[in-house]
Amino acid sequence: MNFATIGSNIVKLLSQYWKVFLIEGLSNTLLLTVIAVSLGALLGALVAILKMSRFKVIRFLISIYIEVIRGTPILLQLYIFVFALPSLLPFLNLSYFTWTAIALCINSSAYVSEVFRSGIQAVDKGQTEAARSLGLSAGQTMRKIILPQAIRNILPALGNEFIMILKETSLASTFFVGDLMTSYLTVKGATYLGFECLIIVGMIYLCVTFPLSKLVSWFEKKMANPNYKKHDHKRKRAVMEGGKV
């Protein structure tokens, strides 16, 4: 097999199965990623707040949760959520796609929680003291003063997490949930052109992740820009002095 034959096969596959790759495979991959990162970020923020709780029992339990999730392979977690939990909780009657999304969400939350925690701890403690002196409760201070700044600080890290989860969804093909790698298996089974299918799927992943990685890099540089930091500092100072949040 030469390069001309491979190129011809790729063109033929794209012309015949572009819907399988792009409409079904890519859309399901992006949907899985958006669900996992969005819900994972919300759960991760909650986990990060609980990790900094003043109660030792809560901190201990959350630490176990984080270490278990981060210390075990994601494929193992997928097997547990897709095969074990449905057997234990048959009344839920969820699809493989839903269980896979939940597993990715749980996995993402453990990593995002540490990102959130570092972002929260990076906020100047003086702002917390100032907010409390203005009469804000601990919850209001966290919600209106600390978290908005922490989120801005960790947005680049969340962008990288999105890219990582996007690639990790390839493991979902083990359960044929309709992602890009499932499209590869489907088309490969119909055409017996495995190498060409892999090239197509690889190009699609690259076309999605490369612009995203460049966007994250651009945002990181913008956040590191002294002018941006100076403007952000002035805005935060005005908010604190004015007492409006």
Q: What local confidence, expressed as pLDDT, does residue 237 receive?
A: 53
pLDDT over 50 (residue 239):
no
- Closest Cα to residue 180, out of 189, 169, 196? 169
The pTM of this model reads 0.83
Assign 3-state DSSP to the chain and report helix, strand, coil percentages, each to 5. 90, 0, 10
Among left, alpha and beta (phi > 0; psi -120 to 50; other), residue 53 is beta
Q: Which helix (H) or strand (E) is 156 found in, with range?
A: helix 147-168
What CATH number does residue 190 fall under?
1.10.3720.10
Q: How far apart are CA 45 and CA 39, in angstroms?
A: 10
CA 101, distance to chain mean position in Å, is: 11
- What average pLDDT does the structure give for the chain? 86
- Closest Cα to residue 206, out of 174, 163, 147? 163
- How many distinct structural domains can be found in the chain? 1
AA identity, residue 110:
A
Structural domain of 133: 3-242
What are 210's two structure tokens? 């490369």
Over the stretch 72-104, which tens digit does the pLDDT of each residue have?
A: 999 999 999 999 999 998 888 899 999 999 999
DSSP for 16-73 reads HHHIIIIIIIIHHHHHHHHHHHHHHHHHHHHHHHHHT-S-HHHHHHHHHHHHHHHHS-
Over the stretch 123-180, which tens digit does the pLDDT of each residue have?
A: 777 777 777 777 777 777 877 788 777 777 788 888 889 999 999 999 988 888 889 9
